[in-house]
Amino acid sequence: MIYIGMQINIIQPYSFNSNKKPSFGGWERVVYKQTSNVFAEELNHRNNTYIFRDGHIIPSIVDFMVFRYMDTPKVNTYVYGCSNGSEPYSVLMSMISRYGEEMGQKFTKIKAFDYDSEAIIKAKSKYLPISIEEFEKICDYTLGKFNKFFDGESIGISKDFNRYLNKDTVFNVFGESKRFEDSIIIGKEVRLRDKYADMIEYSVANILDDYKNIEPDNSVVFARNFWPYLTTNERSKLAKNLGNQLNDTSMLVLGNFDMNSVAGITNLLGKNGFIRTGKTEPIFEKIIGWTA
């Protein structure tokens, strides 16, 4: 099983601004706190995501996973903070397009979680909003196999493409003829292929409590791009709990947002038995023989 992440503190959903779009494309859910002033809304939580976040890092992480567990027959994969499912599906697409169906089976089912029940409902719908930039990334990082993983025919894509775009004009299947830089958000919802969508299992859970359900051995835990939203105390507890839960056959994956926004996070994980082994990727493995 594999765990992946974009997760924040637990909330009580009060309202949902469904019209707001993230500036980068993709999907966003905004929740506000109820206040004593009915005319004022206090932002409680913003849950946003998009396909192949951090670009080439997902394929690089997949490469690392494949070689790290070359002689392991089955690997547990967990994705915490999965939001609408873009990140676990990105990992799955990259794995299968680069290493084939058999390798994909080795790392699935992916167990994907978010504490936000609305995000899980969206993930289970098997539909993802695709921007023109995301379409290009999918074509690049799946070796041109967009239609393998999505029902492209439903939006007019009848074949697969290696590189479909010359950066001057947008591919017209999206009904756009504007220049690329003027067409960041397209917003087409595309259905995932059942064969691959069913290789991911979605549930509501918060990693701050659910860490105890992670298999200690041969597990890859994606906990990406939510550490800056945790309090200092929550970060310390989570690092300690993951360090105690995971054995030295398991690994933890963070995001660039975590590494760039949380000072001392490498040292924090190091104090709890993790060592960074990815050269450019924020991959952390347990130190062999480490004990608390």
240 has a pLDDT exceeding 80: yes
More confident residue, 182 or 208: 208
26 has a pLDDT exceeding 50: no
C-alpha to C-alpha distance for 111 and 75, rounded to whole angstroms:
11
pLDDT digits (tens, 9 = 90+) for 89-114: 999 999 999 999 999 999 999 999 99
pLDDT score for 181: 37
State what percent of residues in the chain have pLDDT above 90.
51
| Confidence band for 271, pLDDT divided at 50, 70 and 90 | very high
pLDDT score for 40: 47
Of 14-18, 27-31, 236-240, where does mean pLDDT reach its minimum?
14-18
- 163-169: average pLDDT: 40
Helix (H), strand (E) at residue 195: helix 194-197
CATH hierarchy code of domain 1-126+193-292: 3.40.50.150
11 has a pLDDT exceeding 50: no
Q: Are 102 and 26 in contact (CB under 8 A)?
A: no
Strands (E), 27-173: 27-33, 42-49, 76-80, 110-114, 127-130
140 has a pLDDT exceeding 60: yes
Tokens coding 225: 């791009």
More confident residue, 81 or 173: 81
Instruction: Give the range with max mean pLDDT: 54-63, 143-152, 191-200.
Output: 191-200
| Confidence band for 155, pLDDT divided at 50, 70 and 90 | low
CA distances, 252 to each of 68, 76, 132, 222, 223 (Å): 13, 12, 31, 6, 7
pLDDT score for 279: 79
Instruction: Give the range with max mean pLDDT: 131-145, 151-165, 176-190.
Output: 131-145
Residue 82: closest CA among 33, 31, 121: 121
Strand, helix or coil for residue 178 = coil
130 has a pLDDT exceeding 50: yes
Instruction: Give the range with max mean pLDDT: 4-8, 52-56, 92-96, 173-177.
Output: 92-96
State what percent of residues in the chain have pLDDT above 70.
71
pLDDT score for 194: 95
51 has a pLDDT exceeding 90: no
Residue 183: closest CA among 257, 133, 239, 240: 133
Over the chain, what is the mean pLDDT? 78
Q: Are 187 and 21 in contact (CB under 8 A)?
A: yes
| Confidence band for 31, pLDDT divided at 50, 70 and 90 | low
Show me where the domains of the chain are located: 1-126+193-292, 127-191
